[in-house]
Amino acid sequence: MVTTSRSTLSTAEERRETVIASAIEVFGASGYSSTPISAVAEHAHISTAYVFKLFPGKETLFVAALDRCFDRIEEALELGAAASAGPSPAEILYAMGDAYADLIADRSLLMLQVHAQSAASVPEIGAALRRGLARVTRFAKTRSGAPDDDVQRFIAFGQLCHLIVTTGIDGDSSDWARIVTAGIRHP
Q: What is the DSSP letter of 22?
A: H
CA 25 to chain centre: 11
Side-chain half-sphere of 98: how many Cα atoms within 13 Å?
Answer: 12
pLDDT in tens, 129-179: 999 999 999 999 999 999 999 999 999 999 998 999 889 998 899 999 999
Q: Are 121 and 114 in contact, with CB atoms under 8 Å apart?
A: no
pLDDT at 106 (0 to 100): 84
Separation of alpha carbons 12 and 89, rounded Å? 42
Q: Please return the burial class of 169, using the count of CB atoms within 10 Å of its CB with bins 0-12, 13-18 and 19+.
A: middle
pTM: 0.90
pLDDT at 10 (0 to 100): 66
Q: What is the DSSP letter of 168?
A: T
Q: Which residues contact 67 (CB under 8 A, 6 or more apart)?
A: 128, 131, 132
Question: In this structure, how many other beta carbons lie within 10 angstroms of the beta carbon of residue 128?
Answer: 23
Side-chain half-sphere of 77: how many Cα atoms within 13 Å?
Answer: 22
Separation of alpha carbons 102 and 96, rounded Å? 10
pLDDT in tens, 43-89: 999 999 999 999 999 999 999 999 999 999 999 999 999 999 999 99
Which CATH number fits the domain 11-181, given the four candidates 1.10.357.10, 1.10.10.10, 1.10.150.120, 3.40.50.150? 1.10.357.10
pLDDT in tens, 85-128: 999 999 999 999 999 999 988 899 999 999 999 999 999 999 99
Rounded mean pLDDT, 18-41: 98
CA 142 to chain centre: 19
pLDDT tops 60 at residue 22: yes
Rounded mean pLDDT, 11-35: 96
Separation of alpha carbons 34 and 157, rounded Å? 28
pLDDT at 186 (0 to 100): 62
Using pLDDT thresholds of 50, 70 and 90, give the confidence band for residue 183. confident
pLDDT tops 60 at residue 6: no
Using pLDDT thresholds of 50, 70 and 90, give the confidence band for residue 5. very low
Separation of alpha carbons 121 and 156, rounded Å? 21
Using pLDDT thresholds of 50, 70 and 90, give the confidence band for residue 12. confident
